[in-house]
Structure 1
Amino acid sequence: MTKIKILDCTLRDGGYVNQWNFGEENIQKIIRNLENAHLDYIECGFLNQKVYNSNESLFQNINQLEKFLYNKSSETLYSLMINYGEYPLENLPECKNNKIFLRVAFHKRNFKEAIIFCEQLIEKGYGIFLNPKQTNLYTFQEMLELINSANEFKPKALTIVDTNGAMKEDDVFKLFQLIDENLDKNIALCFHSHNNLQLSFANAKCLMKICTVRELIIDSSVFGMGRGAGNLCSELIVRYLKDNYGANYELVPILKIIDEQIYPIFTQTTWGYSFQYFLSAVNNCHPNYAKYFVENQIISAEFINNILQAIPDDKKSVYDKDLIKHLCNLSKV
């Protein structure tokens, strides 16, 4: 049976809710309690060029992360995400801590350049996760090209990224089959979902059922924290793996995070199911289109659905604020 692992991305993907401003002490406590919960990976935030603020889970260099990782006995591994094109290679020194991985997210249009960037990171000694955004929008041939590239330079993992929250179990199954049949068996498969259709948990369970040989890594966040519809809840997947796979996770430390760090944020800025994000997923549109409707208090479901259907196919996957504003104004005339 496959080894199933959890990667908690609260400090990174959850940061879209509060602009990554968790507070330095809270960042420390979240990491400590996720370690105490025995989670396999903690994604601690983004690696970018923004001026460093110790209260935010945004880092200018890896040394700034090191001060949060003082539990040397923990078996937990750590990661930071780089959006391709937002962090220069020369800013990264040779890897000195093999417990820190880098996850590189990229758009399909930057695929070839991103692969070269990842190869260069591996030459510096870093373990790499490939995170192709909107993975489900790749054609069969594009996906094979990506897989063949991964087989050549061997990242730690290739991630299925459901950016739009639009994938259903059948989509997950078909994409898994394509990847599993062609990807080197020593490369793990990772799954990052968004809960627009309320299917994050079901899709994760689907993968856990069919991925019987390859290492599988499931992304989640505490209390599902994430923009819009949010993500798979860490507490749900922890309890499920304990009950059904005998996993050695601890639930109570995650509940402490909910009580002390996450729920106070939720009372100020909520996330979770909304029909705006549901409709953006149904129409396979970037979730920022849903965010536009929410922020502008557009609450007619039929109106929103008509607008999303009017977006040209080549504009659906990349958010265009001017376009959505124009379409809304036209429809109001």
Structure 2
Amino acid sequence: MDKIRLLDCTLRDGGYINGWNFGYKTIKSMIARLAEAGTDIIEAGFLRNVPYDPDKTLFNSVREAKNVLPEEKKHSVFALMALHNQYSVEKLEENDGTVDIIRVTFHNYDMDEGLDFCHRVKEKGYRLFVNPINIMGYTDGQLLELFEKVNKLGPYGFSIVDTFGSMTKAELMRIYSLCEKNLDREMVFGLHLHENLALSFSLAQSYLELRRDARRSVLDASLNGMGRVPGNLSIELIMDFLNRNYQADYDIDYVLDAIEEHILPIKKTETWGYQTEYFLSAKYNLHRNYAEYFQGKGNLTTKEIKYLLRKIPEEKKSVFDEAFAEALYQSHENRKVSDEESLLKLKGIFGGRKTVLLAPGKSLLEYWPAVRAWIERENALVVTANFFFDEWREGYAFFSNGRRFQEYKSLWKNTGRVICTSNVAGAGEMADYVINYERLAVPRQEKDANCGVMLVRLMSLLGVPEVFLAGFDGFSEDEDNYMPGYFGSFASARCGDNRRIAAQLRALEDAVDIRYLTPSRYKEA
């Protein structure tokens, strides 16, 4: 068991969840609990070029880190991590024995700069751990080049870092084999896993089975897996596994107490753990924020998200580029069709007719008897916005959201007509009319188009003199925004959207008269 050690990275990697703002007393308590549990290495935080805050685990120097480290080390040793381009190594003091290990990270595109930083850390007397970011993104040739340079550097340890959580058992075996064959036999191997595929505990066990007995190893883990979403290997699980199978003697009670007292309160407001968007990012071995960004749009199907992720080139995968992601999204949404025939037919149907537009706000059900009576009395045409309405099967359904269309198409009855915008995947199979998304979307300075606004704009293009809105309730953060059974609840909706959408509706009033049949926050915004 002396060849296998655990490193807790909660205060460093877990800081991505709460901005490293654990609180001074909590930091001290967590370190004390981890030490009492017998944790071999405790990573106290990041070395960063930031103003020092005693409540955070970001430090400019070892001297600042000493403020939270106990005078009595007991069994544990302490570590800090530095991303080479976010910390000035000149600030790092000579090793005085307080912090034993410095771990340094870098990308494959700035390998030489990162290794130069590593060399300077080693010169200051620290046990150096080389932690290359996203080892899955290295080609075999790049890995062999890295191994050669690392051997010349002679660090204490080298970590296999599965940054994007895309590693499987077969890939772990391949990379471990390359490391074992090409790195110095005295070098300690580290393993840092993520939960994108919900495999971290399984892969940790696989690593322990395949590792060469003589190879000293350090496994990274954190309290309850706390770490940048979706999280890390849970230290309580791997401690228990090592106790039962490798004659370890970790006192897990201290760890469980720390989780109960300090971690679970954070998790109630800032969750982590396996989520589908991070499975997708792992599938394509790219930065987690891409899948998160596209899923956050709220209108893309899984097939569309996968299509966009496949379009991201290798040079863009490691670091999230929001401008690139938005351009890719807009290009996808604005794909064009020939919609002149659809517009001409719809003008013949809607032109000059009173039209009622139905949105799925709760007021639609509450006021439906009166709304229905009004529709029948005025012989108005009806169009629903991103849903089919069970209470009114006639008329038209308008979809600008691919996800909503996929959810509702199974409920479609052949009693109405479907109008889709060109961004909706599969619209050609069911839609009677397809209109170019770009023709109806909000102006280019707005990133996200609202279905209701797009539908009103379509009515203005069709020559409808006045539209009557029902169920256009607007958003509230204090209650459910949609009628029961509606598929499309959007966590991204904010009350501020009421003002934005209201302004967009008012901008259309010169072209079409807008009236409300049910209460709406848009009238007040």
With the length of structure 2 as denominator, give the TM-score of the two structures. 0.61
Tell me the SS of whatever aligns to 2:70: coil
CA distance in 1, matches of 2:24, 2:98: 24
Paired position in structure 2 for 1:170: 170
String of CA shifts for 1:248-287, please: whole Å, max 9, x gaps. Answer: 1111111111111100000001011111000010111111
Deviates more, 1:301-310 or 1:47-56: 301-310
Contact 1:276 1:304 in 2 (8 A): no
State the AA in 2 paired with 1:191.
L
Contact 2:94 2:125 in 1 (8 A): yes
Paired position in structure 1 for 2:161: 161
State the AA in 1 paired with 2:321.
D
Paired position in structure 2 for 1:187: 187
Paired position in structure 1 for 2:78: 78
Paired position in structure 2 for 1:126: 126
State the AA in 2 paired with 1:251.
I
The two structures, once aligned, show a CA RMSD in angstroms of 1.6
State the AA in 1 paired with 2:290.
Y
Paired position in structure 1 for 2:111: 111
Residues 52-71 of structure 1 correspond to what in structure 2 (within 5 A)? 52-71=52-71
CA distance in 2, matches of 1:295, 1:230: 19
CA distance in 2, matches of 1:299, 1:71: 54
Contact 1:14 1:226 in 2 (8 A): yes
Structure 2 alignment gaps of length 5 or more: 335-525
With the length of structure 1 as denominator, give the TM-score of the two structures. 0.96
Contact 1:98 1:127 in 2 (8 A): no
Paired position in structure 2 for 1:209: 209
Instruction: Report the Cα offset of residue 295 of structure 1.
Output: 5.1
The reply to whether residue 13 of structure 1 matches residue 24 of structure 2 is no
CA distance in 2, matches of 1:11, 1:324: 31
CA distance in 1, matches of 2:62, 2:46: 10
Change (3 A) 1:312 1:88: same
Change (3 A) 1:59 1:205: same
Instruction: Report the Cα offset of residue 298 of structure 1.
Output: 5.9
String of CA shifts for 1:295-318, please: whole Å, max 9, x gaps. Answer: 555673223222211212321222
Q: Aligned residue pairs: how many?
A: 333
Change (3 A) 1:216 1:322: same
CA distance in 2, matches of 1:329, 1:8: 42
State the AA in 2 paired with 1:145.
E
Tell me the SS of whatever aligns to 1:85: helix
Paired position in structure 2 for 1:220: 221
Larger relative contact order (CA 8 Å, sep ≥ 6): 1
Contact 2:66 2:98 in 1 (8 A): no
Tell me the SS of whatever aligns to 1:38: coil
CA distance in 2, matches of 1:166, 1:83: 21
Paired position in structure 1 for 2:407: none
Deviates more, 1:110-119 or 1:69-78: 69-78
Paired position in structure 1 for 2:135: 135
Contact 1:221 1:231 in 2 (8 A): yes
Contact 1:98 1:126 in 2 (8 A): no
The reply to whether residue 258 of structure 1 matches residue 271 of structure 2 is no
The reply to whether residue 320 of structure 1 matches residue 339 of structure 2 is no
CA distance in 2, matches of 1:88, 1:99: 17
Tell me the SS of whatever aligns to 1:239: helix
Contact 2:78 2:98 in 1 (8 A): no
CA distance in 1, matches of 2:312, 2:138: 19
Q: Which runs of 4+ in 1 moved over 6 A?
A: none
Instruction: Report the Cα offset of residue 138 of structure 1.
Output: 1.4
CA distance in 2, matches of 1:185, 1:39: 25
Instruction: Report the Cα offset of residue 320 of structure 1.
Output: 1.0
Instruction: Report the Cα offset of residue 226 of structure 1.
Output: 1.3
CA distance in 1, matches of 2:314, 2:75: 45
Instruction: Report the Cα offset of residue 2 of structure 1.
Output: 7.1
Deviates more, 1:197-206 or 1:308-317: 308-317
Paired position in structure 2 for 1:32: 32
Contact 1:156 1:188 in 2 (8 A): yes
Tell me the SS of whatever aligns to 1:11: helix
Change (3 A) 1:326 1:163: same
Deviates more, 1:204-213 or 1:158-167: 204-213
Contact 1:52 1:60 in 2 (8 A): yes
String of CA shifts for 1:54-97, please: whole Å, max 9, x gaps. Answer: 11111111111112222424120111110011111211121111
CA distance in 2, matches of 1:170, 1:281: 15
State the AA in 2 paired with 1:257.
A
Change (3 A) 1:310 1:14: same
Paired position in structure 1 for 2:45: 45
Structure 1 alignment gaps of length 5 or more: none
Contact 2:284 2:310 in 1 (8 A): yes
Paired position in structure 2 for 1:234: 235
